[in-house]
Structure 1
């Protein structure tokens, strides 16, 4: 079984043809020239491939855009590469986007720390720039017209921006909903037409991952430190500064959701920290699926990131903490199927299990953090795990062995206690016998016997007689 989690996971799904597009042992960069490379390193720049890992992913036509963690270990925090190999068997190098100069460290007029990425329907790439030591920004690049900068909106401070979701309104405006890296209680709502932003806060715990449903006109978000998924109408977010009564939708299988997105058919895809599966929620059919790897030992904190293109293709960048093939790019046609497949078929292919869709009653509107519907508690949506025969047999054997070991240990403990009790009884009996013998010796002794002995004359008398 391939230990590379998502490769195994997605290659085993029978509903679509899955392709491994690229494999990297480590990332490398395309430098504009040898002079620019030397200038970068002479200026104190660092390049440590082992420290780089994928963050956010976006796709437009034949290009993939990727933001990277470990900003100071690479010449660029935002890169691009082609969706298909153009020449040679080697995977492509990462090209700084839109240029190396636009990623210059310490220059607050350019990109400093790229985070959330999103491509809108007009072919524009939205980039969140946390700024690091500079004010945070929203960048918009026009991918249709030569990657020109359409907007650079600067906030008043460094906000550690994280995730972004876009909405095209009926007023022909584009709204960006933005969360914070620190799992803040507040959302930022930015209007492109007005070039203004506002903050909408909650009376609730922190959240991080968000996704916009164009079918329902709602913003979905997961409470970061719990399993709960909520939604709220974007009409409310446009007219208020506080979130009081969102709709509770469903409980995930894990906490700490770090990435979510919707496809065109209304299926929500979610990923979780340190978890080896993708969970889905169908907002139209009110059911959910889960795709996971039995026995996975994935070490990465965020093992993958993913994005959908306009043609219904899901692109997934997988990351692991060891070589070879530290990074992999996978391509999966999703279309209208949205991971709808047969669980038994999946389980026979590499041990990947897909829980069948289970109808779930709609959740009631609740106050944040309060569950007033026991049927939709953290354990209220029952996922059915697949029947993986080899693993099931192994689980049965191990369970029987555990039961046998438990009874064996318990029997030995009881036996040792019985022996100890017997030994204590024998010692007590012997002690009592010795005590009784001592008592009899002191109370039942007979009087001493004396014999009368005839008197004999003394020696001096005898001497007098002789003389």
Structure 2
């Protein structure tokens, strides 16, 4: 009955040619997403408060369970009221735009409540009818990229629609730049594989539900591809979220692919059982599958994937050995819009495909006149006699691996049959005709040779093992390493200005590569770091150079002028900052006796087993303040971390302001307090209205600034324009507290920690702990931390402050001037008189990069 209803509903969209089981059937379609609301009043309230913005809701992942379709709606933009939902039973609705039912309830969708769902991305169902949800905890990536909660797994019982378990992903397996949006579920072993593709050190995070433990494994192949091209102006940091991973039928291979790369890769899951932290050398490249954003497997030994560049979906039988996506396309149609965001295979063997105009969504071009999201299904053709692949590969050596790949090779020939359908759709037409299938590619396989009949003269279809070319010799292992690298990178770039040379990405990378003290990074990673530092790439005829954002330059120049003036006035400059320290913070390297191979041997020879690496243990957050005269007595504040990823998230304004009020009386009169712009330093006295502010509150705010308007006479965008035109300077609570005590707050420019001497002090403190810490207990860490801070002398503080004042600040001031002179010289050299028809001859053309 279920099959009959769906097929009857799809008849007017299907061609009369070919078998009906081969037809691509439209099941759901939406211009924009709407929900089932408790009442019309609640919907209106959500809209008026900008908590529901229809064009900002986008379906990313789908999962078919029995007759129910589950979907995720990530909070990539503001105004997504529910991030996990389900659709009405497939047997009762087709070819409509049904409202989404928040799952399991509206209360589970509460924004900024870490016991609710914040931004669900991928979902799966295990054998026990439990729905696993990966919640990134990061919202509004297409706007401001805010982390509101730690990433977590949430498990629901689909029989009772209740939460079974919350599993927070610990910070020990995460980076500050981690992108946690994609997972693969091994329901047999209750194990979850999570991909983390970022610009510094990508890898897999493995959660074992039996033991409740997480482990991280580095995998360089997940790093962004330097050679990839842009995909219709989709922000590159969003493409990171479309890493696709899938386990095969037997759950002994983990396949993966990235949206910016054309390779299909896999790794045997057995490698995750070892203690090896880096699995990059054990990854097998099957060859090109074009660019893909979704991989899934079924129970019959097939892998399905989309082909981004061709608006198509393809299948590959794992036992066939050779991989070639172009001969295995099963559906290719304009109906698939621009982007296949998700796929799933149901119990009846139907492939479900969720497609959308993601290019338009990511560039704010959703229009109400078109279907922006569609869900199809198709009964896919099966290749005859699927056979299980060999899984007992010995990956201990390169030679063994190549021998196993040779045995695994299976010669096969394929024949592609294309069925041309009539009445192709012109999606650009104002009034499109009823939806018809453009074309469907079917694939059959014949004459498959048996493994035992493999001719000796056949070549590999799977590339042999090769050494990774992009291996990072010294990865950025923590915040300290990253800060050092960022500061060094900025210094290298400004060295070019001082030498009156044009800095380009390749020349900067060359300088970093030759510095043995810095880690090796890819060209793409360096590019992202430069963007984060506020540099832009400009072009002047055939000469190209990296130029810093004007607002960053102006902020830095203002800071340098102010700090110079305050020193001349004889004011005391105090510097404050926060850092962190693990209980197990200790040396990673030490001399060891390689002749001692076991504890038994050490005991027999009356020797020790050497120093053992400490577990990271509990994390401490440390806040302090100091000047050229040393640390301020009574200014130290420490507390134990709870569980969030970034130590900046451990602090909030109430903690900081309470500590700040206690240290203000300890400072010299009329002093200056230098700090960065962390959120907890920057709580506003009066918050400026935004799109999330109620209309009545905006009117009231305008009245306090002598602008009287009637609420009914203006729309919210008009009121916000009034707010913008006032150019109100933000006032911060800590600034007001300092002024009341006779002090001034001076804020560092973004990404300029090298102007804060306390960063050098923190490095000295951590080095002391590294050398002396031999225990991971909380009490021992408190003691060693007190010793580390106590050994920082007043003279060391004076030297650090003097280094900033006499070396770092003058160098920045000089390089800014030289950079401007260099750019002005180029602009004059390529003046309009040279060629008035070419605008690039006399002005810099800046590309508007997204600030990551």
* TM-score normalised according to structure 2 size: 0.38
Which of 235, 238, 246 is matched with 2:273 structurally?
238
What is the rounded CA distance, in whole Å, between the counterparts of 1:212 and 1:89 in structure 2? 32
Q: Which has the higher helix share?
A: 2
**1:364 Cα deviation after fit:** 4.7
Does structure 2 retain, via aligned residues, the 8 Å contact 1:46–1:74?
Answer: yes
Which of 303, 317, 329 is matched with 1:290 structurally?
329
Q: Does 1:206 align with 2:216?
A: no
Partner of 1:73: 79
CA separation of 1:150 and 1:251: change in aligned 2, threshold 3 A: same
Deviation string 1:386-441 (CA, Å, 9 cap, x unpaired) is xxxxxxxxxxxxxxxxxxxxxxxxxxxxxxxxxxxxxxxxxxxxxxxxxxxxxxxx
Deviation string 1:171-222 (CA, Å, 9 cap, x unpaired) is xx31100113647621010011111111111244527211101336111112
Which of 138, 142, 148 is matched with 2:157 structurally?
142
5 Å-filtered alignment, 1:406-417, equals: none
| Aligned residue pairs, count | 356
The secondary structure found in structure 2 opposite 1:117 is: strand
Partner of 1:461: none
**1:267 Cα deviation after fit:** 1.3
Q: Does 1:366 align with 2:372?
A: no
Partner of 1:313: 350
CA separation of 1:9 and 1:152: change in aligned 2, threshold 3 A: farther
**1:66 Cα deviation after fit:** 0.8
Partner of 1:191: 208
Does structure 1 retain, via aligned residues, the 8 Å contact 2:263–2:290?
Answer: no
Q: Does 1:326 align with 2:372?
A: yes
What is the rounded CA distance, in whole Å, between the counterparts of 1:76 and 1:181 in structure 2? 26
Which of 166, 169, 178 is matched with 1:152 structurally?
166
Does structure 2 retain, via aligned residues, the 8 Å contact 1:45–1:75?
Answer: no
The secondary structure found in structure 2 opposite 1:219 is: strand
Partner of 1:46: 51
Q: Which has the higher strand share?
A: 1
What is the rounded CA distance, in whole Å, between the counterparts of 1:13 and 1:286 in structure 2? 29
Which of 179, 188, 206 is matched with 2:195 structurally?
179
What is the rounded CA distance, in whole Å, between the counterparts of 1:236 and 1:64 in structure 2? 34
CA separation of 1:64 and 1:32: change in aligned 2, threshold 3 A: same
5 Å-filtered alignment, 1:11-26, equals: 14=19, 16-26=22-32
Does structure 1 retain, via aligned residues, the 8 Å contact 2:56–2:78?
Answer: no
Which shifted more, 180-189 or 211-220? 180-189
CA separation of 1:241 and 1:247: change in aligned 2, threshold 3 A: closer
Q: Does 1:126 align with 2:132?
A: yes
Which of 196, 200, 222 is matched with 2:257 structurally?
222
What is the rounded CA distance, in whole Å, between the counterparts of 1:21 and 1:37 in structure 2? 26
Does structure 2 retain, via aligned residues, the 8 Å contact 1:9–1:291?
Answer: no
**1:12 Cα deviation after fit:** 8.0
What is the rounded CA distance, in whole Å, between the counterparts of 1:352 and 1:31 in structure 2? 39
Which shifted more, 160-169 or 120-129? 160-169
* Structure 1: segments with no counterpart, 5+ residues: 1-6, 371-467
Does structure 1 retain, via aligned residues, the 8 Å contact 2:265–2:284?
Answer: yes
**1:236 Cα deviation after fit:** 0.8
Q: Which entry has the higher C-alpha Rg, 1 or 2?
A: 1
**1:150 Cα deviation after fit:** 1.2
CA separation of 1:10 and 1:191: change in aligned 2, threshold 3 A: farther
Deviation string 1:355-375 (CA, Å, 9 cap, x unpaired) is 7669894525524656xxxxx
What is the rounded CA distance, in whole Å, between the counterparts of 2:194 and 2:123 in structure 1? 11
CA separation of 1:202 and 1:351: change in aligned 2, threshold 3 A: closer
What is the rounded CA distance, in whole Å, between the counterparts of 1:88 and 1:281 in structure 2? 29
5 Å-filtered alignment, 1:103-114, equals: 103-114=109-120
Does structure 2 retain, via aligned residues, the 8 Å contact 1:20–1:330?
Answer: yes
Does structure 1 retain, via aligned residues, the 8 Å contact 2:356–2:373?
Answer: yes
CA separation of 1:247 and 1:10: change in aligned 2, threshold 3 A: farther
**1:114 Cα deviation after fit:** 0.4
The secondary structure found in structure 1 opposite 2:55 is: helix
CA separation of 1:113 and 1:361: change in aligned 2, threshold 3 A: same
**1:102 Cα deviation after fit:** 0.7
What is the rounded CA distance, in whole Å, between the counterparts of 1:238 and 1:127 in structure 2? 24
CA separation of 1:368 and 1:163: change in aligned 2, threshold 3 A: farther
Higher RCO by CA contacts (8 Å cutoff, separation 6 or greater)? 1
Partner of 1:254: 290
Does structure 1 retain, via aligned residues, the 8 Å contact 2:14–2:23?
Answer: no
What is the rounded CA distance, in whole Å, between the counterparts of 1:210 and 1:49 in structure 2? 30
**1:286 Cα deviation after fit:** 2.4
CA separation of 1:21 and 1:118: change in aligned 2, threshold 3 A: same
What is the rounded CA distance, in whole Å, between the counterparts of 2:41 and 2:107 in structure 1? 13
Q: CA RMSD in A?
A: 3.5
Deviation string 1:1-32 (CA, Å, 9 cap, x unpaired) is xxxxxx99999874535432222232211012
What is the rounded CA distance, in whole Å, between the counterparts of 2:278 and 2:17 in structure 1? 44
CA separation of 1:114 and 1:168: change in aligned 2, threshold 3 A: closer
The secondary structure found in structure 1 opposite 2:319 is: coil
Partner of 1:450: none
What is the rounded CA distance, in whole Å, between the counterparts of 2:260 and 2:15 in structure 1? 27
**1:348 Cα deviation after fit:** 5.2
What is the rounded CA distance, in whole Å, between the counterparts of 1:185 and 1:163 in structure 2? 13
Does structure 1 retain, via aligned residues, the 8 Å contact 2:313–2:332?
Answer: no
**1:263 Cα deviation after fit:** 1.4
**1:54 Cα deviation after fit:** 1.6
**1:283 Cα deviation after fit:** 0.9
Does structure 1 retain, via aligned residues, the 8 Å contact 2:122–2:134?
Answer: yes
Does structure 1 retain, via aligned residues, the 8 Å contact 2:418–2:442?
Answer: no
Partner of 1:346: 419
* Structure 2: segments with no counterpart, 5+ residues: 1-11, 139-147, 225-242, 361-366, 387-413, 423-437, 449-458, 470-852
Partner of 2:608: none
Which of 262, 276, 295 is matched with 2:311 structurally?
276
CA separation of 1:216 and 1:92: change in aligned 2, threshold 3 A: closer
Does structure 2 retain, via aligned residues, the 8 Å contact 1:246–1:367?
Answer: no
What is the rounded CA distance, in whole Å, between the counterparts of 2:137 and 2:169 in structure 1? 10
5 Å-filtered alignment, 1:80-99, equals: 80-84=86-90, 86=92, 90-99=96-105
What is the rounded CA distance, in whole Å, between the counterparts of 1:252 and 1:354 in structure 2? 20
The secondary structure found in structure 2 opposite 1:54 is: coil
Q: Does 1:59 align with 2:64?
A: yes
